[in-house]
A = this chain, B = another copy of it.
Amino acid sequence: MFKEIKINYGSLFEDALLKEIEEVGVYKEVRKDDKLIEIGAYVKSMPLLISGAIKILREDGDGNELFLYFLEKGDTCAMTLSCCIGQGQSKIRAVAEVDSCLYMIPVQKMEEWTSKYKSWRNFVFASYHNRLLELLDTIDNIAFLNLDKRLLKYLQDKSKITNSNIVSSTHQEIAYDLNTSRVVISRLLKALENKKVIELQRNKIVLLES
């Protein structure tokens, strides 16, 4: 199991750090749709993603949901890092988008490693950097794009993450992620189908080459 860490993070971290990761880390497998972190939950460990993909969601007080971005292999969750500094409550929900493998690191190690290992520091900074960019991208999408464009981007994102041109979602699920209603998504999907951009099947959307 630890071999996986070496493959994915070996070039980033020095050997001493890798050794520590092996010692304190806990290997964990999750299935598609497993919830990893809930909003408001106290964060006790930090995930290093080895394989699969994690969907990060935001929710307001009224149950409205919004997809933010995906984490992929080699990523960690800057939000989790961030929570270690603040009051420790998660501001986001994390759900496995596909079956995934993680290495969980106790948050106490965070600060220790930050002063001890330059490579860890760089990793953490890079992670923050990437998350900021992802959030900016998310903001661009919601602020500057109409729903049809956002929907298409969403489908392309999903397709990329699952490495397949078939997106297996119901219209309702997509509607939740984009914080709109099922009818609206159905309407826009139908329009995309008419434009020969996608093909619709039950529980399935096929992205056509273009």
Contact = CB atoms under 8 A, between A and B. Distances in A.
Interface stretch (A2-10, A19-27, A93-101, A120-128): A120-128
Among A86, A131, A142, A143, chain B packs the most CB atoms within 10 A around the CB of A143
A62 B125 CA distance: 31
Interface of A: 58, 60, 62, 64, 66, 68, 78-79, 81-82, 85-86, 91-92, 114-115, 118, 121-122, 124-126, 128-129, 131-133, 135-136, 138-140, 142-144, 179
Contacts of A58: 136, 139-140, 143
Given A82-B129, A132-B132, 9 more contacts: A64-B144, A66-B139, A66-B143, A91-B133, A92-B136, A114-B121, A121-B121, A124-B125, A128-B128
Nearest to A126: B85
A82 B128 contact: yes
B135 A136 contact: yes
A139 B139 contact: yes
Contacts of A60: 140, 143-144
Contacts of A79: 132
Contacts of A125: 81, 85, 124
Interface residue SS majority, chain A? helix
14 contacts: A58-B143, A62-B144, A64-B143, A66-B143, A66-B144, A78-B132, A82-B128, A82-B132, A86-B133, A115-B121, A121-B121, A135-B135, A142-B142, A142-B143
A142 B179 CA distance: 11
Nearest to A118: B115
